[in-house]
Amino acid sequence: MTDGLVPAGSPAGTIPTVAAARSAPVVAAASVAATRSRPVVAAASVAATRYGPIAAAASVVVHAPGAAARIVGVSLGHRTLAEADHWIQELDPAPVLACTHLVPDPYPHVAISLLTPETFGTEPSLQPAADAAATGPAGRAVVFPGSARLTGTLSVSEILQRSSIARVEILGSGPAGPSAIVDTGDFVRPQFRSGELVLVTTPAAGGVLIPFERRDPTPCCAAH
């Protein structure tokens, strides 16, 4: 297993990648982020629209006040999801959308795609990984419109209203009903599939659902 990651460029959607939007600079994403009822239909659409690879990547950030957000790839060689998540959550300003991607070259690691106006310098050896993250078809979302509001115990209806998540699924059972209760554990990492964010859950004690990916996996899963 790969902790919910799929290789960048894989046709299967187990994690969100944001596709490159070179000619559409994402005015919609900014306005969507400000829309409380459905903060990201537009961001998801932009993420799903690919116009070709975008050069981007790692380490040095160049601030560009007033610049339009677009998809960039970043590869810093993070070995784990936790390391990549921490780096994403330390970004200031925060990106509109940030996803992680498992890439195989030049060695297996976690690359990142961002919907942001910022520019990142890149190390040449990691450029292919950054490009793969920026243009791949799937990803695992860490930051997305409304993500900060998904804490505590919420109904499926509340999750859909508060964030850009398009639907909540129960693993192996299909969509969850709007009144189903989800104990988020303050850790929500939806998958990006076919231009939308999907939160996969699993039944837990007490008749509630919990996200399939947990902050602290059980011992049987932690080794995979």
User: pLDDT for 105-120, tens place per residue?
Assistant: 999 999 999 999 998 8
Which domain range does residue 209 map to?
147-222
Tell me 184's DSSP state: -
Confidence bin at 122 (pLDDT 50/70/90): confident
Per the CB < 8 A criterion, the answer to whether 144 and 40 are in contact is: yes
Q: What is the pLDDT of residue 217?
A: 57
pLDDT surpasses 90 at 61 = no
94 shares its domain with 196: no
The model's pTM: 0.71
Confidence bin at 187 (pLDDT 50/70/90): very high
* Last residue in a domain, options 125, 143, 161: 143
Label the pairing between strands 191-193 and 196-203: antiparallel
CB burial of residue 49 (10 Å; 0-12, 13-18, 19+): middle
34 vs 208, more confident: 208
Distance CA(152)–CA(134), nearest Å, equals 31
129 shares its domain with 167: no
* Last residue in a domain, options 115, 143, 171: 143
Q: What is the pLDDT of residue 183?
A: 98
Label the pairing between strands 196-203 and 165-170: parallel
Average pLDDT for the chain: 76
